[in-house]
Amino acid sequence: MFSELSKRLKKDKIARISLAIIILYFAVALFTQAGLLLPDFDKVNYTESYQPPSASHICGTDYLGRDVFSRILHGTRVAISVGIVSSFIAIPIGVLLGCISGFFGGKIDEFVVWLYTTLDSVPGLLLIMALSLVLGRGLYAVYLALGLTTWVSLCRLIRSEFIKHREREYVLAAKALGAGSLRQIFIHILPNVFHIVIINFSLRFVYAIQSEVILSYLGLGAQDMPSWGIMINDAKVELARGVWWQLTGATGAMFLLILAFNIFGDFLRDTLDPKLRGVE
């Protein structure tokens, strides 16, 4: 799988660039988290509020005179962390429920299908907002809310794959040789459907970042730390003053990351899904 991946990656320039951008963002997130990059992002300088972009402030300053560029970089940290943490909550739930319901069928399947259908019938963002209100404001609530609500599509995909695979010869053979249910699920079937998890990870990562921005914009997300959503929210009042740099910077950063993720996600799907791979 991975040799195929790197082979294709060598051929596809845009995917390579996208991957580079994603890695760059991850690096920025890591370094800002460690305090190695622009640690002065929160430094207030009242005399310099609303400075337009210049050599010393590439993206200008905000209402408290803080450097917008460093806040954008620190916003990356929040965005990436939301993507990663919520994935680590959502993916195990989705995979596990998908496996057992697809493999066992019957009552278990009915229950899981009922559960995700119910969850899916509530508009996603509303559900996330409701959850983060219940859990209290802040980043932890966003992690949890996103993690607990976004496993549905992955679960559905895994389930349908399992229904297909459980009747295949190699599974029947394993069964005939005396493999138990757990062994069939995790040793035999799961590796064969795991590409779905990888593709899904890259796509839901984008969704998680968007949701974080929206929630922060609505005041339900990150508190007291730089976040793209908060910066866009600031811009709401500032645009009338002609302060455009904060909005532009934050949306630009978000745009680039999401675009890279989408392109790379498409590339992953094309590469990993045998049905889409084609012949070269």
Partner 1 sequence: MYKLKVIRQLESGDNNFSLSFPRRRESRDFKAVDSPVKPGNDNFWLVLLHGKNTLLACLFLSFFLFTGCANKTGTDNIIRLPMQTDIKGFDPAYAEDLYSHTAMAQIYETLLQYAYLERPYKVEPLLADGMPEISKNGLTYTFKIKKGVIFQDDKCFPGSKGRELTADDFVYSFKRIADMNTRSTGWWVFDGRIEGLNEFREKTKDSPKTDYTIDVAGLKAVDKYTLRFKLTKPHPQFLYTLTMMYTAVVANEAVETYGQEFLNHPVGTGPYKLTKWTRNSRIIFDKNPTFRQEFYPVTGETTDKTNGLLVDTGKQIPFIDRIVYIVYLEEQPLWLNFLKGNIDRSGIPKDSYSSAINASKELMPELQEKGIKLWKVPMLDVTYTGFNMEDPVLGKNLKLRQAICLAHDINKVIDLFYNGRAIPAQGPIPPGLDGYDPEFKNPYQSFDLEKAKQLLDQAGYPEGKGLPALAFEASGSGTIDRQWAELFKKEMEAVNIKVNVNYNTWPEFLDKLNKKKGQIYGLAWGADYPDAENFLQLFYGPNAANGQNNTNYKNPEFDRLYEKISTMPPSGERTKIYKQMVKIVTSDCPWIFGAHRMSFALSQQWVKNYKPNDVATNLLKYYRIDTQERAKMLKERF
| Nearest CA among 74, 101, 76, 94 for reference residue 146 | 94
CB of 215 to partner 1, least distance (A): 11
Q: Please tell me whether residue 230 binds partner 1 under the rule CB under 8 A.
A: yes
Kindly state whether residue 233 participates in binding partner 1, applying the rule CB under 8 A: yes
Task: For residue 44, state whether it binds partner 1 (rule: CB under 8 A).
Answer: yes
Options 22-30, 104-112, 176-184, 226-234: segment touching partner 1 (CB under 8 A): 226-234
In whole angstroms, what is the distance from residue 202 CA to residue 101 CA?
A: 24
Task: Specify the stretch interacting with partner 1 by CB under 8 A; choose among 76-84, 149-157, 212-220, 271-279.
Answer: 212-220
Q: Confirm or reject binding of residue 40 to partner 1 (CB under 8 A).
A: no
Other C-beta atoms closer than 10 Å to the C-beta of 118 total 10
Site for partner 1 in 171-200 (CB under 8 A): none
Tokens of 36: 């190695």
Q: Rule CB under 8 A: say whether 223 interacts with partner 1.
A: yes
Q: Is 153 near partner 1 (CB under 8 A)? A: no
C-alpha 34/C-alpha 28 separation (Å) is: 10
What CA–CA distances, in Å, run from 173 to 73, 168, 176, 193?
Answer: 53, 9, 5, 18
Q: Residues in contact with partner 1, total (CB under 8 A)?
A: 19
Per CB under 8 A, does 64 bind partner 1?
yes
Q: Are 18 and 263 in contact (CB under 8 A)?
A: yes
Residues 179 and 170: their CA atoms lie apart, in Å, by 11
Residue pair 87/43 in contact (Cβ under 8 Å)? The answer is no
CB atoms under 10 Å from CB of 138, counted, come to: 15
61: β partners: 67
The yes or no reply on residue 244 touching partner 1 (CB under 8 A) is no
- For residues 58-74, one letter each, b for 16 or more C-beta atoms within 10 angstroms of the residue's C-beta and e for the rest, the string is ebbbbeebbbbbbbbbb
Q: Which is nearer to partner 1, 149 or 216 (CB)?
A: 216
Q: What residues numbered 128-147 form the site for partner 1, per CB under 8 A?
A: 137
- Is residue 245 a contact partner of residue 235, using CB atoms and an 8 Å limit? no
Least Å from the CB of residue 137 to partner 1? 6
236 binds partner 1 (CB under 8 A): yes
**Any contact of residue 241 with partner 1 (CB under 8 A)?**
yes
Under 8 Å between Cβ of 51 and 60: yes
Determine if 63 is a binding residue for partner 1 (CB under 8 A): yes
Q: Is 49 in the site for partner 1 (CB under 8 A)?
A: yes
- Rounded to a whole number of angstroms, the minimum distance from the CB of residue 129 to partner 1 is 12
Q: Which of 2, 46, 176, 178 binds partner 1 (CB under 8 A)?
A: 46
35 is a contact residue toward partner 1 (CB under 8 A)? no
Q: Which spans of this chain sit near partner 1 (rule: CB under 8 A)?
A: 44, 46, 49, 63-64, 137, 218-220, 223-224, 230, 233-234, 236-237, 240-242
